[in-house]
Amino acid sequence: MHDVAQESRDPVELLEQIGELRGRVAELEAQVADLDRLAHLDALAPVANRRGMMRELETMIARHDRHDTPAAMLFVDLDGLKFLNDCFGHEGGDAALIHVAEQLLAGVRTTDCVARLGGDEFCILLEHADEQSAIETAERLVNLVAGDDFLFEGQPMPLSVAIGVTLVERGDTPAAVLSRADQAMYRVKAAA
């Protein structure tokens, strides 16, 4: 038996409705993609946030384990953020964080992940990086940040960072890599 209501529908009208629904689905998919992207970006600096970095780190560890691809994490601490906030106000401290994030982005490959973990801490995920290249990248970034003449409202703002380096090891967890990199950064600060 045929449904009379279905037979009475105009095929042109149905095609128009299908087109409208497809357009709406495409809009919703774009909104979901935008929200996902925003959920993984830092609110202040133009880099990933902790959530975005952890997602990238999980992927990097999986590639390392599957293909034995060398990989490293750099843990970056902006020196003296409290001092900068006290001297230049919180706007100055925010400007310093944004500037350091931009310097870190400029100093690594576009395929590397730069993230702000929160406060004055950043990390960088380096794929296809052995220990020597990771150390060289860290040294280059330290010099890049320290050698830059950054001005905030016409006043020179001294910027420096301490960077700890760790390699991804077989069977690592994101928490283990992050912890080792954090400890390496504190060893660098203690030695300074």
> CA nearest 131: which of 48, 70, 51?
70
Neighbours of 3 (CB within 10 A): 8
Which of 120, 148, 172, 182 is catalytic? The answer is 120
To the query of whether residue 120 is one of the catalytic residues in this protein, the response is yes
Longest dimension (CA), the chain: 85
Beta-ladder partners of 178: none
Are 104 and 76 in contact by the 8 Å Cβ rule? The answer is yes
Type of residue found at 106: A
Catalytic residues: 120
